[in-house]
Amino acid sequence: MKKLLFQFDTDTHPSVFDTVVGYDGGADHVIGYGGLTPDNITPLVEGTIFTRAPKDKKNTAIFVGGSNMQAGQALFTAVQKQFFPGFQVSVMLDSNGSNTTAAAAVAKLATSGTLQGKKAVVLAGTGPVGQRAAVMLALEGAQVSLTGRQMARAAEACANMHTRFGVEITPIEAFSNADRAAAIADANIVIAAGAAGVELLTVEQWCDNPHLEMIADANATPPLGIGGTDMMDKGIDRHGKIIWGAIGFGALKLALHRACIAQLFDDNKQVFDAEKIFTLAKAMA
């Protein structure tokens, strides 16, 4: 029986990246739908849960993606609300690679040093990757702040993560590189989660920071998020700090994403969101 992955995307066009990884993770066929909301998914979910016998339902799974974390969370919840005993399929949430990217970055940082009790700042953390990275740092016992160019967006991201995970994350308004340098003045750990091709700090703004121990930068599109680093950095020492570049931890992100897809087909009750994906990342790091 063919393994079918239904890619439910909150954006107009389903993510090509997620389609490719769906195949590489072991799906025989990936079927993408765009523009999905909690209001228009009922017939699609019904098509996944009513079509195969109980022993065969494990061969159908749903992947929720898109560029908006809150829209993805709402869609993921709405999909699962359609399930009832005996009629469900495995599901995964990874809006913009949020969970897999954040989990890979935080898991790699954890291999380089202690996160518990450390001060961590997620720069430009209002996007999907930044929000989930902030959550995972908090779950590891770090004191986490998150910056955005506008306080309202930063505060909204923190509130969203508090509602979903019960974690306390402090919002910081930081518009310029200088503002972000001030935001990390007493930080031990920095994750840069800004949009592709946006430099958030110059090398001069972090290299002499006496508190800083570790940096991970998710942005692999030049210019990188953190000046003076290399996207290939794999936990190497620069200016006395451990650096993880976007490709340096990106290999784990891709392996993790593929592993999650593969496990969706183990049975019809898998739920892959931040908690389970982060647990798997730590085992694979």
Decide if residue 220 touches ligand NAP (CB under 6 A): yes
If one asks whether residue 134 binds ligand NAP (CB under 6 A), the answer comes out as no
Which of 7, 19, 59, 96 is the binder for ligand NAP (CB under 6 A)? 96
Q: Which is nearer to ligand NAP, 5 or 69 (CB)?
A: 69
Over the window 138 to 177, marking each residue x when it contacts ligand NAP by CB under 6 A and - when it does not, the resulting string is ----------xx---x------------------------
Number of Cβ within a 10 Å radius of residue 108: 24
Per DSSP, helices labelled H in 176-234 are 177-183
Rounded CA-CA distance 134/145 in Å is: 7
User: Cβ of 85: how many Cβ atoms within 10 Å?
Assistant: 5
Kindly tell me which of 17 and 266 has the beta carbon lying closer to ligand NAP: 17
Instruction: Write out the H or E segment, with its range, that includes residue 20.
Output: helix 16-24
Candidate ranges 52-60, 214-222, 234-242, 276-284; the one touching ligand NAP (CB under 6 A): 214-222
Give the pair of three-digit tokens for residue 126. 């209002």
Quote the least distance from Cβ 182 to ligand NAP, whole Å: 15
- Residue 10 or 126: the one with the smaller Cβ distance to ligand NAP is 126
Count of beta carbons in the 10 Å neighbourhood of residue 166: 10
CB 260 within 8 A of CB 280: yes
From the CB of 149, what's the least distance to ligand NAP, in Å? Answer: 3
Rounded Cα distance between 159 and 153, Å, is 10
Segment near ligand NAP (CB under 6 A); pick from 114-122, 124-132, 233-241, 266-274: 124-132
Q: How far out from the chain centre does Cα 192 lie?
A: 13
275 vs 264: CA distance, rounded Å: 15
Choose which of 92, 129, 155, 215 interacts with ligand NAP (CB under 6 A): 129
**Residue that the structure tokens 């590891």 belong to:** 140
Alpha-carbon distance of 221 to 77, in angstroms, equals 32
CB of 107: closest distance to ligand NAP in angstroms? 12
- Provide long-range contacts, Cβ within 8 A and 24+ apart, for 141-144: 141/115, 141/116, 141/117, 142/115, 142/116, 142/117, 142/118, 142/189, 143/117, 143/118, 143/119, 144/120, 144/168, 144/169, 144/170
Out of 193, 242, 243, 261, name the contact with ligand NAP by CB under 6 A.
Answer: 193
Segment interacting with ligand NAP (CB under 6 A) among 34-42, 54-62, 77-85, 187-195 = 187-195
* 124 interacts with ligand NAP by CB under 6 A: yes
The answer to the question of residue 72 lying near ligand NAP (CB under 6 A) is no
Stretch that binds ligand NAP, among 43-51, 82-90, 114-122, 215-223 (CB under 6 A): 215-223
The binding track of 238-257 with respect to ligand NAP, each residue x by CB under 6 A or -, is --------x---x--x----
Residue nearest to ligand NAP (CB): 127
3-state secondary structure of 88: coil
Residues that bind ligand NAP (CB under 6 A): 96-97, 101, 124, 126-130, 148-149, 153, 193-196, 198, 218-220, 246, 250, 253
